[in-house]
Amino acid sequence: MFSRRDVLAACASIVGMRAFGEASWAANAQERAVAVYQVDIEELVQAFPGGSEMSRLPRLLVRFGEWLAGKPWRSVGGFDLDVRWSDLGFAGGEFFYDQFALFIKLPDGSSVGYWLAGRDLAHAPIVVLGSDGDDALLAPDLETFLARIAVGDFDNKGPASDFLYSDEDYGDGVVPDLRGAMQAFLRDETGIRDLQSLARRGRSSSPDFAQWVAKAVEAYSAKMQAHPAVEAMTSILESYRPAKAQALAILDDQRGVGGRTFRRLGRARQHQVARRSRTTEASSRRLAR
């Protein structure tokens, strides 16, 4: 038989569990209410040639931002329409800032946008600068890129996988799938009915963006190798090299060869960790705001 104390303890536990459940539901509801896409059109202007004129932004990008704003985050993919320039994608990337107009940031630190390289926006492809070195061309133009998002035309690996809708519950509920609504939006804006065919255009590997990045890194490494400060530091370090020891590859590290390898391995590990918790972290940031 249960004692009166046992019964009271059991009742208290049930009441406590119910209160905790209601509090958790309320917290999740509050988090879901604020977990929406971040869209900062005014900030995006700064990433484009011309700097401060809204008229320089592609009309389709502005309209997409207006459509996306306020919708549940992850309902067409896990990304935000906002600016984050970083040189983590490749060594010396800060010297090539004007070669890009980046307008999307991904949870793992990757950035997506136009690769200008002397082209105007109408003829500039869309690329991803991966936080762990996964640099790739995503589409030949903006409308093709948006079509790929709308129809889910991405592999489930690499930074571009964040453009896929997911019906998983990461603790804040399953978000609605709004890709169909995005398809209707694109058809109205572009007049293109067959978005599947349009999306397939984005699978072309030409031009080779990854090769361009590799050459840019080589140019940066050569510049650093010839820098007087690096040469002076190398000569000092040479005096401390153990006798009859093999080369320590100090100069290569300064050139960026060994350094890039270690940085790439480090970024790859960081990328794996970040991707495991990217949705939870992103929701937490939105809740904090």
Higher per-residue pLDDT: 183 or 204 = 183
Q: Is the pLDDT of residue 9 over 70?
A: no
**209-229 average pLDDT score:** 88
Q: Choose the weakest-confidence range: 127-141, 186-200, 237-251, 266-280.
A: 266-280
Q: Residue 56 is encoded by which pair of tokens?
A: 């320089």
* Helix axes of 4-34 and 257-288: crossing angle, nearest 10 degrees: 110
Higher per-residue pLDDT: 202 or 251 = 202
Q: How far apart are CA 37 and CA 41, in angstroms?
A: 12
The answer to whether 116 and 124 are in contact (CB under 8 A) is yes
Q: How far apart are CA 277 and CA 265, in angstroms?
A: 19
Q: How far apart are CA 34 and CA 137, in angstroms?
A: 32
Give the mean pLDDT of the chain.
Answer: 77
Nearest residue to 136 via CA among 123, 127, 146: 127
**Does the model's pTM come out above 0.85?**
no
For the segment 56-66, what is each residue's pLDDT rounded down to a tens digit?
A: 899 999 999 99
